[in-house]
Amino acid sequence: MTDIMNKQEKLQDKKEKRDCITLEHIHPHVFRNSFATRGLENGIPPKVMQKLLGYSSIKITLDLYSHVLPQTKQSEILKIANLF
């Protein structure tokens, strides 16, 4: 995938007379991880994300992507704080 992108970038660079910027090899799995991370950060419930990603267990989803949840901890606490 990145080979095709790099090839297109080199052709475009020549046409526009600019320096070429290419990407390292990117495995398609990176997009899956980005989708899950951004989805959880933006409020998609873990159970919904589990179904979207096709994991058989919520535990798998939470084990893999729980690093995202602490980042939203402060905003969630503020929601509760605003109740008082």
Residues 66-80 pLDDT 10s: 887 776 777 778 888
Q: What is the pTM of this model?
A: 0.57
Average pLDDT of the chain to the nearest whole number: 81
* DSSP 8-state symbol, 19: -
d(CA 70, CA 75): 10
Q: What is the pLDDT of residue 52?
A: 96
CA–CA separation, 75 and 81 (whole Å) = 10
Position 32 pLDDT exceeds 60: yes
Look at residue 4 in the predicted model and tell me its pLDDT. 65
As for how many domains the chain has, the answer is: 1
Domain range for 48: 2-81
Closest CA to 49 of 2, 6, 41: 41
Chain-centre distance of CA 82, in angstroms?
Answer: 30
pLDDT per residue over 39-67, tens digit each?
988 889 999 999 999 999 999 999 988 88
